[in-house]
């Protein structure tokens, strides 16, 4: 009987530790998902920037990633950007989101994670500002010309992740993002930046979509965040 009670208490405690609060908030005119552990304790805060929005389909997994971050003990924030290629507009959204996350968490520095187009925004922000703990690129390395411009300036730890078969598909308009990522990582290393490069196993017929769900790669991300928080 004592064993049963102890086991039940342990089980309930385990579930309680994973409980989260998910909210929809406004950042200016942009809707965002905010997720956090329900007990108010958190390790750090992470901004997730999703990929392009095409025909009302958002690239990546903004809400799912927000929830997974909270379940791992982080405050997650996922702003839902409109379909746009206007860099100034997109960077304004990124800056507002970082500012909001810092205010929500009370932290001076936060992590930023970007998928595809969101990775480009995470890169540009990390180059221009110094309030980032680490930057995580999910199939979102910048164009080689952009890599040459910014890898000398970015000064926080970096994780680059991509599927082995993210080598060109309809999703990426034929761009070989594995090759782009390798060029990016090479530029970072040549400038003695703190970078980790992870090539994931092939994912279905389109490696770019591996980050459209929370998969096995997530353990690597949480381990990385824990290391740099």
**What's the pLDDT tens digit per position in 78-110?**
999 998 889 999 999 999 999 999 999 999 999
Q: Are 70 and 40 within 8 A, CB to CB? A: no
Q: Are 155 and 147 within 8 A, CB to CB? A: no
- pLDDT score of 18: 60
* pLDDT, average across residues 177-184: 95
What share of the chain in percent tops pLDDT 70? 92
Q: Are 104 and 77 within 8 A, CB to CB? A: yes
Q: What is the C-alpha to C-alpha distance for residues 31 and 213, in angstroms, rounded to an integer?
A: 21
More confident residue, 18 or 142: 142
CATH of domain 20-227: 3.40.50.1820
* Average per-residue pLDDT for the chain: 90
Q: Are 166 and 138 within 8 A, CB to CB? A: no
14 has a pLDDT exceeding 80: no
Residue in 134, 56, 53 with CA at minimum distance from that of residue 93: 53
9 has a pLDDT exceeding 80: no
* pLDDT, average across residues 163-183: 95
- pLDDT score of 150: 85
- For the entire predicted model, the pTM comes to 0.90
- pLDDT score of 16: 44
Token pair recorded at residue 30: 């942009």
**Residues ≥6 apart with Cβ < 8 Å to 167:** 176, 177, 178, 179, 207
- pLDDT score of 61: 96
What share of the chain in percent tops pLDDT 90? 83
**Residues ≥6 apart with Cβ < 8 Å to 104:** 34, 45, 75, 77
Dihedral of the alpha carbons of 103, 37, 119, 188, in degrees to the nearest 10:
90
Which range, of 75-79, 169-173, 207-211, averages the lowest pLDDT?
Answer: 169-173
Q: What is the C-alpha to C-alpha distance for residues 152 and 37, in angstroms, rounded to an integer?
A: 36
- pLDDT score of 3: 37
């Amino acid at each position: 009987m004592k064993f049963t009670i102890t086991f039940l208490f342990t089980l309930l405690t385990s579930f309680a530790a994973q409980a989260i609060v998910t909210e929809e908030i406004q950042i200016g005119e942009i809707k965002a998902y905010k997720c956090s552990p329900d007990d108010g304790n958190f390790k750090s805060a992470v901004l997730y920037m999703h990929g392009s929005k095409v025909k009302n389909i958002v690239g990546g997994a903004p809400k799912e990633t927000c929830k997974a971050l909270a379940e791992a003990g982080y405050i997650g924030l996922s702003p839902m950007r409109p379909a746009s290629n206007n860099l100034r507009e997109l960077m304004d959204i990124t800056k507002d989101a970082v500012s909001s996350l810092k205010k929500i968490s009370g932290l001076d520095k936060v992590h930023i994670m970007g998928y595809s187009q969101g990775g480009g925004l995470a890169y540009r922000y990390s180059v221009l500002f110094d309030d980032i703990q680490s930057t995580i690129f999910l199939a979102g390395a910048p164009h080689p010309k952009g890599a040459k411009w910014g890898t000398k300036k970015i000064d926080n730890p970096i994780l680059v992740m991509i599927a082995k078969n993210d080598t060109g598909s309809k999703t990426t308009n034929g761009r070989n993002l594995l090759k782009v990522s390798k060029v990016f990582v090479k530029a970072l290393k040549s400038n003695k930046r703190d970078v980790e490069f992870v090539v994931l196993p092939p994912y279905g017929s389109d490696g770019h979509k591996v980050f459209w769900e929370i998969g096995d790669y997530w353990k690597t991300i949480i381990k990385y965040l824990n290391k740099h928080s």
